[in-house]
Amino acid sequence: MVTSQQKIAGIIACLLGGSSVQALAEDSNIFTLGEIVVTAPKDQNAGVISDTLLINDMRKFNRETIGSALNLLPGITLSNNSRNEQMISVRGYDIRQVPLFIDGIPVYVPYDGYVDMGRFTTSDLAAIQVSKGYSSVSFGPNTLGGAINLVSRKPTKALEGDARIGYGQQNTHEANFNIGTNQGNWYAQAGVSYRDSDGFRLSDDFKPTTTEKGGQRDNSQYQDSKVSLKFGLTPNETDEYALSYYKQDGEKGNPPITDTSGGGQVRFWKWPQWDKESLYFISKTAVSGHETLKLRLFNDQFDNTLKGYTNNTYSTLLVTNPIVTGVSIYHDKTNGGMVELESTRIPNNTLRLFTEYKVDKHESLDRLGVTGEKFEDTLRSLAVEDAILIGSKTTATFGFAHHEIEPDKIYKTGFNFTAKKLKANDPQAAISYQWSDTTAFYASAAQKTRLPTLKDRYSLRLGSYIESPNLTKEKAHNYEIGYKGNPWSGTTAQVAIFQNDIDDKIQSVNLNGAASCSTTNKCQNQNVGEVRIRGVELSLNTALGDQWQLGGNITNMDIKNLKDDTKITGVPETKITTNLTWTPVNAVRIIGFAEYNSSRWVSNTAKVDGFTIMNLKAAWQPVTNLTAEVGVNNLTDKNYYLDFGFPNPGRMWFTNLSYLF
């Protein structure tokens, strides 16, 4: 039987790509311990303010990485940077301001707060939760613009799983396998994935430059592998204990910039190592008839190596002075824990108390193994959240969080830094109203902060910056009203209107007033930014007869820097996606997808044009649970850019074969 909460989640899934309530049943292997949902007792409104993207939608649109999957959602745009990292923005906030979590556990490189979304694959996930602007205080610090939570799988059958293999242009390979078992009082889940490619081909419209001849993009190769393991105990109906292990190994090239007129530098870089190893323990224990204790313990290790070369032969390391040795090695570690006590003792209230303790460590070495810097921060959070059911249809939620960051170790060869302890307080409130089983309205207001990263405070950027050890927090006030529902039979819709006011935004300031930063015209990070972002998101999904399904979303934003002329980069003000699915017979689906992005600033002086790209795929299911696919991405071979001087793939074909059991 589908519960009211499942109906709501099903509606959200429909809005995000054409799923249905029935599709949710197929995705019922969501690891619920890994979800972050604010709800009151008997509440039908769970998840209304956040969005959930199910694995079915990721498979339908062939989204193999987290970044490309998130790009399906309204309010989220995809970008990249000079480090060949896949980035996203959420209503104008970058990934440092909308951090990534796995089953509610924070995941980012401790040094700079970033993660490369292209290194995280989707094959072992059950869903992705996205909170925009407003997010539960249980996510902890630094959720200035929301939070992204990757929810893993939990098996529901004695034996279940899936297997997939794929091959595509430029010698691209993909393979993944997941298997799980649930034996009542215990369960186990395992997954492996592998993907590699010689790179990607550029559009035929690309004009060769001195650093890129065209055809296959220079130095665009990659290789990623991942192992995920989970073992869980469910000794009774209320308690659950799960231990998870993740091992990711990656390497990639870094294509050089093709045009330096926008101010970028030509870099011949490779990343022979982008590795992450994690151990997580998550539990839920009923300590009384009304109280439940939840625990998250985590250990993350990031090992990254960057090699810089003198030219495009990638044979001679770039050694220019004692500081630049051609090799940069990062050893970063995060250890911590999160404790939550939930109580329903007060009628119609779900009261939660949270605490988090987290230690971030960063160490950088050169090619000779000499330690150049060691930094360590301790983060502490205390928070309270109360969800109150008012009548049978309204839920009001109030939250307050206090965060602290304390510098424990600051060491950099040849420099002497001191830094102070930082504190932040974040109050927030939301209300949601369940008009009917399929229609809900909501409103939220949240004060959020982001504490500066180690890189924000201490990086000298190869001598072109001076340190900023006393940077303070970025602050934001996020407001939103919205609607999710069925305006007419066979249709689902979503509307969100939002405004984000950002104060003390960390921006680069050239101390000599020059146009760019250099060793003679140094810059410094300062809390000088003041930004306002207003926008609207519209989503619609509807059946067109028995054979056709139409879906899509529109995001339009007005982004304004209120303090100076510094541009907000990497964010188009308008994004439109649409998808059309045709099912001529039960065994065949033809899926078309189109995306439009308006122009975007990529620096204070450079802008890239808007673009429209189209993808087309045919899927054939000859027997139950076996599916064969063939498709083309960027069907029209558009030459488009997400960053100046870094062209994206032209037309690329692919094939896949998958089996579910």
Q: What local confidence, expressed as pLDDT, does residue 44 receive?
A: 54
pLDDT bracket for residue 286 (50, 70, 90): very high
For tokens 């190994």, the residue is 249
Residue with tokens 């430029």: 170
Residue 8: its pLDDT value, please?
Answer: 32
How far apart CA 415 and CA 51 sit, in angstroms, is: 46
Question: What pLDDT shows up at residue 47?
Answer: 63
**Token digits for 459?**
């990086």
Beta pairing class for 222-233 and 172-182: unpaired
| Higher-pLDDT residue of 323, 103 | 103
User: Which one has a higher pLDDT value, 385 or 9?
Assistant: 385
Q: In this model, does residue 375 exceed pLDDT 90?
A: yes
Burial of 520 (0-12, 13-18, 19+ CB in 10 A): exposed
Percent of the chain with pLDDT over 70: 94
Average pLDDT, the chain: 91
How is 197-265 classified by DSSP, letter by letter? Answer: ES--BPPTTPPPBTTB-SSBPTT--EEEEEEEEEEEE--SSS-EEEEEEEEEEEEEEEPPPS--TTS--
Least confident residue range of 193-197, 529-533, 601-605: 601-605
Phi/psi of residue 491, each to 5°? -130, 140
173-187, 449-463, 512-526: range with lowest mean pLDDT:
512-526
Under 8 Å between Cβ of 507 and 529: yes
* Reported confidence tier of residue 10, pLDDT bands at 50, 70, 90: very low
Q: What integer pLDDT is reported at residue 516 of this predicted model?
A: 76
- E strand map for 547-610: 548-561, 574-585, 588-597, 600-601, 607-608
Summarised one tens digit per residue, pLDDT across range 133-143 is 999 999 999 99
Least confident of 81-85, 247-251, 425-429, 582-586: 81-85
Work out the average pLDDT over 320-333.
78
Q: Which pLDDT does position 32 carry in this prediction?
A: 87
Mean pLDDT of 315-334: 82
What's the mean pLDDT in 240-246? 98
pLDDT at 272 over 70: yes
Instruction: Please report the pLDDT score of residue 42 as a whole number.
Output: 59
Give the architecture-level CATH label for domain 4-660. Answer: Beta Barrel (2.40)
> DSSP characters for 130-141?
EEES---GGG-S
Which residue is associated with the tokens 């220019």?
A: 320
Sign (positive or negative) of CA dihedral 121, 127, 131, 137? negative
Contact between residue 128 and residue 66 where contact means Cβ atoms under 8 Å apart = yes
* CA-closest candidate to residue 281, choices 348, 337, 211: 337
For residue 640, the cross-strand partners are none
Token output for 566: 């510094």
Q: Which of 536, 495, 499, 494 is nearest to 133 (CA)?
A: 499
pLDDT value at position 2?
Answer: 38
Instruction: Give Dmax (Cα) for the chain.
Output: 71
CA-wise closest residue to 187 among 231, 153, 157: 231
Q: How far apart are CA 610 and CA 72, in angstroms?
A: 18
Confirm if 225 and 249 have CB atoms less than 8 A apart: yes
| β-strand pairing of 172-182 with 186-197 | antiparallel
As given in the structure block, the two tokens for residue 542 are 């509807």
Is 25 a residue whose pLDDT tops 60? no
Q: pLDDT (tens digit, 9 = 90+) per residue, 556-579?
A: 999 999 988 888 999 999 999 999
Better-predicted residue by pLDDT, 29 or 637: 637
The predicted pLDDT at position 17 comes to 34
Mean pLDDT score, 183-192:
97
Rg, C-alpha atoms of the chain: 24
Q: Which among 195, 156, 157, 153 is positioned nearest to 178, based on CA atoms?
A: 153
At 324, the pLDDT band (50, 70, 90 cuts) reads low
Tokens read off for 125: 């996930």
Q: Give the type of residue at 7.
A: K
Q: Tell me the mean pLDDT in the region 225-234.
A: 98
Find out whether 628 and 66 touch, Cβ atoms under 8 Å: no
Q: Provide φ and ψ at 202, rounded to 5°.
A: -85, 160
Q: Write down the domain spans for the chain.
A: 4-660
pLDDT computed for residue 107 by the predictor? 93
Model pLDDT for residues 542-551, shown as the tens digit of each residue: 999 999 999 9
